[in-house]
Amino acid sequence: MSQPLFGWPLYSDVGPVYTPAFSGGSWSAGLPLTNLQDERVHRKARSATDSTTDAQFDLDMGVARAGLRIVAGIGHNLSLAGLVRVRLSTVADFATNVYDSGWVAPWENAYPATGLPSWHPSYASLDFTAEDADNYPLGLTFVTPAAVTARYLRWEFDDSSNPDGYLEMGRLVVAPGWQPSYHPDQGAEIGYDTSSRSQETDGGSFVHTDRARRRLVTLRFGDLPQNEAMVSFFEMQRRLGTTRQLFFVFDPEDGANLHRRSLLCYQRQLTALTMPSYGRNTVPVQLVEAL
């Protein structure tokens, strides 16, 4: 297990100095690629068709960005047979790449090797079935082995039999990843919360208002060097507050659960750093998933 990654700022978004520019593929005028820079995940970018030539795009971040660790896509409609590829480069034609994911099948190996009972239909393959994948909010998360410097991103879908006839995605993340020098304290929490409601009728049955489930993360780093806490967590609170997004990866080395413990999120609340001893800080973190 490695330390968590906190991905911010999002260099794929419009910033105070640079405006990243999209190009390539063929995308709907009503659902353009710039929707990927909108914090509202339900505002999709949609390709004209599901062909590989249409369902791809490039992003020019405007300047070479150092420290990149995370590329992610949220709110997509990739089918079980679909593939995705991500590249980062310092040159616009991608003649050379600083990172290349290769073609990845995200619905495959979605279970850990020891996590399923023998009767489960995915016991041997570890892949999602169509029933597993139905309405599953699978994020497409790529973590580079080490920090890279790049200006350009190329994102490609290969899903020409998609039943929708197009590819869509709601949010794009390209971000550096700050990684604490220590693991979080024991007792870290990740779980689901919902505002769904159930009301009992006069006859004793229930009427349900079913709403989305969102993940919550609670961590505490108990003994970070003061300067590390100041220039990372303290600045993260100042710059992001509770209204700007970051991307969180609980364990970059846990590939089988990467989609379960990686999420686009907000800080749920701003929490004070404490000093248990001279030159050391205790840092509590609370995150809530962005839907």
Each residue's pLDDT tens digit, 61-105: 999 999 999 999 999 999 999 999 999 999 999 999 999 999 999
Q: Give the residue from 178, 202, 235 where a domain finishes.
A: 178
Is 18 in the same domain as 153? yes
pLDDT at residue 77, as a whole number: 96
Q: How far is CA 187 from CA 6, 247, 261, in A?
A: 19, 21, 15
pLDDT at residue 203, as a whole number: 86
pLDDT at residue 149, as a whole number: 98
Is 124 in the same domain as 206? no
Q: Find the mean pLDDT for residues 14-18.
A: 92
Per-residue model confidence as pLDDT tens digits over 235-276: 999 999 999 999 999 999 999 999 999 999 999 999 899 988
Is 65 in the same domain as 163? yes
Mean of per-residue pLDDT scores for the chain: 94
Per-residue model confidence as pLDDT tens digits over 128-174: 999 889 888 899 999 999 999 999 999 999 999 999 999 999 999 99
Q: Find the mean pLDDT for residues 48-55.
A: 98
pLDDT at 211 exceeding the cut of 90: no
Partners of 153 in the β-ladder: 59, 88
152 lies in a domain? yes
66 lies in a domain? yes
Q: Give the residue from 178, 211, 243 where a domain finishes.
A: 178
Is 205 in the same domain as 283? yes
For 23, the domain range is 5-178
pLDDT at residue 278, as a whole number: 85
Q: Where does the pLDDT of residue 286 fall: very low under 50, low under 70, confident under 90, or very high at 90 and above?
A: very high
Q: Find the mean pLDDT for residues 188-213.
A: 85
122 lies in a domain? yes
Q: Find the mean pLDDT for residues 29-44.
A: 97
Is 47 in the same domain as 122? yes
Is 153 in the same domain as 11? yes
> Per DSSP, which regions of 81-212 are E strands?
83-89, 99-100, 140-158, 168-169, 171-178, 189-194, 197-200, 206-209
Higher-confidence residue: 208 or 142? Answer: 142
Is 164 in the same domain as 253? no
pLDDT at residue 115, as a whole number: 84
183 lies in a domain? no
pLDDT at residue 10, as a whole number: 97
pLDDT at residue 93, as a whole number: 96
Cβ neighbours for 203, distance < 8 A, ≥ 6 positions apart = none
Is 154 in the same domain as 194? no
| CATH, residue 43 | 2.60.120.260
Question: What's the structural domain count of the chain?
Answer: 2
Is 157 in the same domain as 27? yes
For 90, half-sphere exposure in the C-beta direction (CA atoms, 13 angstrom radius) is 7
Q: Give the residue from 146, 178, 210 where a domain finishes.
A: 178
221 lies in a domain? yes
Cβ neighbours for 103, distance < 8 A, ≥ 6 positions apart = 83, 84, 85, 158
pLDDT at residue 206, as a whole number: 85
Is 44 in the same domain as 167? yes
Is 113 in the same domain as 9? yes
pLDDT at residue 190, as a whole number: 94
Residue with tokens 């840092």: 283
Q: How far is CA 125 from CA 85, 130, 162, 235, in A?
A: 22, 13, 22, 44
Percent of the chain with pLDDT over 70: 100
Note whether 237 and 270 are within 8 A (CB): yes
pLDDT at residue 279, as a whole number: 84
184 lies in a domain? no
Residue with tokens 């100041």: 230
pLDDT at residue 63, as a whole number: 97
pLDDT at residue 246, as a whole number: 98
Is 146 in the same domain as 70? yes
